[in-house]
Amino acid sequence: MPTFEDPAADADEVQTALRALAHATRSIDDPREIYSVLGSLTAALASMSQSLHQIATFHDDGPRKSEWMPEASAKARSASYRVSWDLHRAGEMLRQVGETVANAHVAEAMLAYHREFPEHSRSTTPAADHRIGL
């Protein structure tokens, strides 16, 4: 259950959910579910992009960073800059991936899946089935 207040716990839950999704999508039994899965993934990618940008912002020279980090050495400032850069970059990549998945989601809406099932009439007698070669 999401906490909306504990990023580490929520991240663990996301990892578990994505692992379950990877397992569940190994075999698609009902392709009509793909549209909804793509919609959920589009929203998830947008949230993940936002989260990465927000975590990166902590490493930017923000006022809250100084509350947590003592006077940083050049090495620590360099590492913080690298974390910020990489997370902002990853957040932007995920935004672009999200747009691509959204495009697939729109295209998926144009597909109609159906499964044809053999129709058996209850009024057909076994003798009649035999005559028509069934």
pLDDT digits (tens, 9 = 90+) for 89-131: 999 999 999 999 999 999 999 998 877 655 665 555 555 444 4
Of the CA atoms within 13 Å of residue 133, those in its CB half-sphere come to: 0
Give tens-digit pLDDT for 30-80: 898 999 999 999 999 999 999 999 999 988 876 566 666 656 678 888 888
Q: The whole model's pTM is what?
A: 0.77
Task: Yes or no: say if 108 and 74 are a contact pair by the CB < 8 Å rule.
Answer: no
For 46, residues 6+ apart whose C-beta sits below 8 A from its C-beta are 95, 98
- Quote the tokens at residue 12: 């663990």
Residue 46 to residues 27, 53, 86, 96, 105: CA-CA distances in angstroms? 26, 11, 17, 9, 14
